[in-house]
Amino acid sequence: MNTPLTVVILAAGLGTRMKSRQAKVLHRAGGRTLVEHVVNTALQLAAPERLFVVVGHQADEVRAAVGTPGVGFIEQKEQKGTGHAVMVGRAALAGLGGNLLILYGDSPLLRAETLRRLVAIKEESGAAGVLLSAPMDDPTGYGRVIRDAQGGVQAVVEQKAGTPEQLAIREANMGIYCYGADCFWKHVDEIQPNNPPREYYLTDMVEILRRSGHAVAAMTIDDAREALGINTRIELAEVDGLLRERKRSALMLAGVTIENPPTVTIDDQVEIGMDTVVGPFVQILGATRIGENCRIGAGAVIDNCQLADGVKINPYTVISESRMERGAEAGPFSRMRPGAVMEEGSHIGNFVELKKTRLGAGSKAQHLAYLGDSTIGAKVNIGAGTITCNYDGRLKHATAIGDGAFVGSNSTLVAPIEIGPGAYIAAGSVITDPVPADALALGRSRQTMKEDWARKRRELGRKKTV
């Protein structure tokens, strides 16, 4: 392709039909904002310097969501329609010549391949422009493609402006166009807001160009789903579903077993190694990377985590921004908050919470514990009910536990505190002073015994025992 290509993505609208305070293109499908999907696809055709996004509603947030450096932004202060959105870009765009590919920021399923074909048709056909169309069972809400007796594209008529006969047409405009830039800019001002909502419709360009003797072609795709434009939350859910399905299929083809796939949610950027098994109702989110031969149990939620090979996550475990090394195991019902690291072969079990804590190789906390701001060595045993008191109401304090230490059940470790390697903490202790290596720390009151107390009480019947 020798003709230079400029891409402009319209993303300024609020999206009234979403019934949201958030701009439509900031809503997420498949784990990314809608605008990110379209930008990423466009970047496969054009360098960032030739890619422009028209922003308006929540312009700063949309700019931030785009992320890629070098992408240009055009501000549309008032949203007066898709035609107006392109018009406001004249200063930035008109001088660039070549072809102008216009996309809407609310069609995240689009594939780069389809756009390439569209541009190629524009080049080969010699038409002034090409639009993408598809037959739809229910095209309600879409513009309809009106053809003349010879089958040539004559106009696009919007839902709100169409006659009953026009609205009966099933060929829908997908909102993707490639125009010869010079011709486009020459005629764009002929778009007028002469329709019920008084908007400048970009779709009017088709008729305008036809009137001045140019041809506009259509490239028809069979499956309209690819260009589905999201207007409502129902469509958002539909597109999210399709993106999730694409992701699951790609992973399964790459050797990941997914049980009951429709119930499993996996974000776009997630990577999973071969022979890992993902159970039903699992969510794997963000930039999570999972190794080979892992087992992710039912209902687990994993957000932005790194899991090495052979890691086992038992059902209903929730972990975020944490790392698990080879063969580590968590759950059922464990929680890892940001900054947790489980070294090789370590285990946490039900109702164990880690936060900013490193659990050394082979160490175990099998039940009911809170370990925060702690560094725990290798082969440590943390008994049920152990709590690190890491917060004094003002500041967080650290706990350090040496290799091979044994922390008895229901211990309360008041940080800052250090427990030496090989030390023992008696069950039920409140530990406030450092425990040297290999020592036994008893931090509890002695047991008192009252011989025969219970028998005497029974004999006294209802009378009060002393």
Which stretch in 74-82, 292-300, 385-393, 394-402 sits in contact with ligand UD1 by CB under 6 A? Answer: 74-82
Mask for 231-250, x = binds Ca ion (CB under 5 A): x-------------------
**Do residues 385 and 365 lie in contact, with contact meaning Cβ atoms separated by under 8 Å?**
no
Q: Report if residue 106 touches Ca ion, rule: CB under 5 A.
A: yes
Two tokens, residue 393: 């109401």
What sign has the CA pseudo-torsion 39, 225, 57, 204?
Answer: positive
Cα distance between residue 463 and residue 454, in whole Å? 13
Inter-residue contact 185 to 94 (CB < 8 Å): yes
CB of 137 to Ca ion, least distance (A): 18
- Does 142 engage in binding with ligand UD1 (CB under 6 A)? yes
Q: Pick out residues in 381-410 that bind ligand UD1 (CB under 6 A).
A: none
Q: Which residues, 6+ apart, have CB-to-CB distance to 386 below 8 Å? A: 365, 369, 370, 371, 407, 409, 410, 411, 412, 413
Of the residues 31, 81, 291, 297, which one makes contact with ligand UD1 according to CB under 6 A: 81
- The pairing of beta strand 99-104 with beta strand 171-180: antiparallel
Closest of 253, 159, 258, 153 to residue 209, by C-alpha: 153
Q: Using CB under 6 A, which of 99, 173, 288, 410 touches ligand UD1?
A: 173
Rule CB under 6 A: is residue 89 a binding residue for ligand UD1?
no
Q: Which of 108, 143, 229, 402 binds Ca ion (CB under 5 A)?
A: 229
* 143 is a contact residue toward Ca ion (CB under 5 A): no
Q: How many residues bind Ca ion (CB under 5 A)?
A: 3
Binding segment toward Ca ion, per CB under 5 A, in 105-113, 194-202, 302-310, 321-329: 105-113
**Cα gap 95→25, rounded to integer Å:** 27
Give the Cα separation of 1 and 122 in Å (integer): 11
CB closer to Ca ion, 89 vs 105: 105
- The answer to whether the CB of 128 falls within 8 A of the CB of 183 is yes
Q: How far is the CB of 212 from ligand UD1 (least distance, A)?
A: 20
Answer yes or no whether residue 158 interacts with ligand UD1 by CB under 6 A: yes
Which of 108, 61, 54, 52 is CA-nearest to residue 83?
A: 54
- Quick one: tokens of 328? 């580590």
**For residue 253, what are the CA distances in angstroms to 99, 109, 247, 248, 256?**
37, 20, 10, 9, 7
Q: Is 347 a catalytic residue?
A: no
Sign, Cα dihedral of 239, 241, 242, 246 = positive
**Measured in Å, how far apart are the chain's first and last C-alpha atoms?**
99
CB atoms within 10 A of CB 209: 23
Taking the least distance from each CB to Ca ion, the nearer of 8 and 181 is: 8
Token pair in block for residue 42 = 């466009």
Given the residues 37, 57, 214, 367, select the one marked as catalytic: 367
Site string for Ca ion, 422-461 (x = CB under 5 A): ----------------------------------------
Pick between residue 243 and residue 384 the one whose CB is nearest to ligand UD1. 243
Candidates 41, 101, 104, 185: give the one binding ligand UD1 (CB under 6 A): 104
Could you tell which of ligand UD1, Ca ion, none binds residue 201, using a CB distance below 5 to 8 A set by kind? ligand UD1
Binders of ligand UD1: how many residues, by CB under 6 A? 30
82 lies in the binding site for ligand UD1 (CB under 6 A): yes
- The interface partner of residue 169, options being ligand UD1, Ca ion, none and the CB cut-off 5 to 8 Å by kind, is none
Which positions from 210 through 239 interact with ligand UD1, judged by CB under 6 A? 229, 231
Q: What type of residue sits at position 210?
A: R
Q: Please, what is the minimum distance in Å from the beta carbon of residue 345 to ligand UD1? A: 50
- Residue 324: beta bridge partners? 307, 342
Query: Which DSSP symbol is given to 188?
Result: G
Q: Which stretch binds ligand UD1 (CB under 6 A): 101-109, 177-185, 375-383, 454-462?
A: 101-109
Nearer to Ca ion, 232 or 293 (CB): 232
Three-class SS state of 158: coil
Instruction: Pick one of Ca ion, ligand UD1, none as the site partner of residue 173 (Cβ within 5 to 8 A by kind).
Output: ligand UD1
User: Which of 75-83, 334-342, 412-420, 440-448 is the region at the interface with ligand UD1 (rule: CB under 6 A)?
Assistant: 75-83
The whole-angstrom distance between residue 234's C-alpha and the CA centroid of its chain comes to: 18
The span from the CA of 44 to the CA of 72, in Å, is 16
147 by Cβ neighbours in 10 Å (0-12 / 13-18 / 19+) ranks as middle
Segment 431 to 460, residues that bind ligand UD1, using CB under 6 A: none
Q: Which is nearer to Ca ion, 18 or 378 (CB)?
A: 18
Restricting to residues 310-339, which ones interact with ligand UD1 according to CB under 6 A? Answer: none
Rounded to an integer, what distance in angstroms lies between the CA atom of residue 357 and that of residue 336?
A: 9
Residue with smaller CB distance to ligand UD1, 233 or 326:
233
**What does the binding site for Ca ion look like in residue numbers (CB under 5 A)?**
106, 229, 231
Residues labelled catalytic? 367
**What does the binding site for ligand UD1 look like in residue numbers (CB under 6 A)?**
10-13, 24-25, 54, 76, 79-82, 84-85, 104-106, 142-143, 156, 158, 172-175, 201-203, 229, 231
